Amino acid sequence: MTAPLAVFFALATLAVIGAVSLIVQKHPIHSALSLIVVMIALAGLYLLLGAEFVAAVQIIVYGGAIMVLFVFVIMLLNAGVEEHTSISKMAGAPGLLLVVALAGFVAATIARSTASIQTTPQTGELASTTGISNMIFKDFVYPFELTSFLILVAVLGATVLAQREKS
Partner 1 sequence: MVPTNYYVVLSAVLFGLGVFAFIFKRNIITIFMSIELMLNAVNLAFVAFSQALGKLDGQVFVLFVIVVAAAEAAVGLGIIILIARNRQTLNVERVDLLKL
Burial (0-12, 13-18, 19+ Cβ within 10 Å), 21: middle
Interface of this chain with partner 1, residues 111 to 130, rule: CB under 8 A: 114, 117-124, 126, 128
CB of 20 to partner 1, least distance (A): 7
| Helix H or strand E encompassing 127 | none
How many residues belong to the site for partner 1 (CB under 8 A)? 82
For residue 108, the minimal CB distance to partner 1 (Å) is: 11
Which of 10, 93, 102, 141 forms a contact with partner 1 (CB under 8 A)? 102
79, 93, 141, 145: which one contacts partner 1 (CB under 8 A)?
79
Report DSSP state, residue 134.
H
Which of 10, 66, 93, 141 is close enough to bind partner 1 by CB under 8 A? 66
Q: Applying CB under 8 A, does 10 fall inside the site for partner 1?
A: no
| 145 sits near partner 1 (criterion: CB under 8 A) | no
108 three-class SS: helix
Written in H, E and C, the secondary structure of 58-90 is HHHHHHHHHHHHHHHHHHHCCCCCCCCCCCCHH
Among 34, 8, 32, 10, CA closest to 20: 34
Among 16, 93, 141, 145, binds partner 1 (CB under 8 A): 16
Q: Does 140 bind partner 1 (CB under 8 A)?
A: yes
Binding residues for partner 1 restricted to 29-58, rule: CB under 8 A: 31-32, 35, 38-39, 42, 45-46, 48-51, 53-54, 57-58
Binding-site member from 65, 89, 112, 167 for partner 1 (CB under 8 A) = 65
Q: Distances from the Cα of 160 to the Cαs of 48, 73, 78, 134, 150, in angstroms?
A: 41, 16, 22, 36, 15
